[in-house]
Amino acid sequence: MKSRKTARQINKNIKGVFADEKRERAAADFSSLFHIFAALVAVLLPLSLLALGAEIAFRVPALMAFEIERGGVLTELSLNTTGEAVANEITDFLNHSAGSIELTTVIGREAVPVFSAADETNLGKIRGLLDKGLYPSAAAFVLSIALFVLTRLGGRRRYLKTALRASVLFYIFGAAFTIALALFWPLREAVFSRQPGIEFGGDGVLLRFYGGLYPLFAAGMACLISFVVYIAVYGILKRFTKEADKMFS
């Protein structure tokens, strides 16, 4: 009788050992998965916000209007219009509020289009690039939040603390790269030369409106907008990495 009980107990112990090992392997697998999730949060959160900040900067007319007026481009090109009108026309087209550029100016007694056919072609390509960047950037931000929540639900607060700290470094790197693009034309040319051909030249004047200090203003605005949002999101997410937090428990 004792031998049967002993045998059953041994079998039970053996099964328990295998069950524990199975749980440990499963926990290790999940731990690796949560490591990946946290790493993606560290990268996607800051870079997606920088990309969205750039989208906003290029789609609002205020910066371009200011630079056009400041730089005296209209006087230099003898255009009888205002910087605000030009900037609104460009950004309306980029934001799909207008299907074409209708802005004209009077030279002598004749009304002529401000933008040439080449300018409109280039603006169409710029709009296409902005559209291609908008949705992936928004999706990357949403994904980073979703991965944060999943990792928090998995109880890996320590991973998320590390991820948030690392995200600061990625944000600094991304912001520095954005400013470098604005300051150094060779770097900007090297990056954008890989994009579908946007060629300025001929009788077009579009480059003049995107020149001067406008790239630096746009980069600065992109960094400022993204920094404000990043700090707000960082502060909210950090609360959910504290041990006393019970929201997802």
Q: Which residues of 212-249 are buried (b: 16+ CB within 10 A; e: fewer)?
A: bebbebbbbbbbebbbebbeebbeebeeebeeeeeeee
Report helix, strand or coil for 154: coil
Predicted confidence (pLDDT) per residue in 9-50, tens digit: 555 544 443 344 444 444 445 678 899 999 999 999 999 999
Q: Is the pTM of this model over 0.85?
A: no
DSSP assignments along 29-51, one per residue: HHHHHHHHHHHHHHHHHHHHHHH
Q: Is pLDDT at 60 greater than 80 in this prediction?
A: yes
Average of per-residue pLDDT across 97-111: 77
pLDDT at res. 159? 92
Q: Is pLDDT at 101 greater than 90 in this prediction?
A: no
Residues 6+ apart with CB under 8 A from 120: 100, 101
Euclidean distance between CA atoms 67 and 83, whole angstroms: 8
Average of per-residue pLDDT across 168-186: 92
Length in residues, the chain: 249
- As a whole number, the mean pLDDT across the chain is 82
Q: Is pLDDT at 150 greater than 90 in this prediction?
A: yes
pLDDT at res. 186? 78
Predicted confidence (pLDDT) per residue in 119-139, tens digit: 888 888 889 889 999 999 999
Side chain identity at residue 11, one-letter code: N
Euclidean distance between CA atoms 170 and 193, whole angstroms: 25
Euclidean distance between CA atoms 7 and 241, whole angstroms: 47
pLDDT at res. 73? 83
pLDDT at res. 20? 43
Euclidean distance between CA atoms 49 and 231, whole angstroms: 11
Euclidean distance between CA atoms 104 and 79, whole angstroms: 9
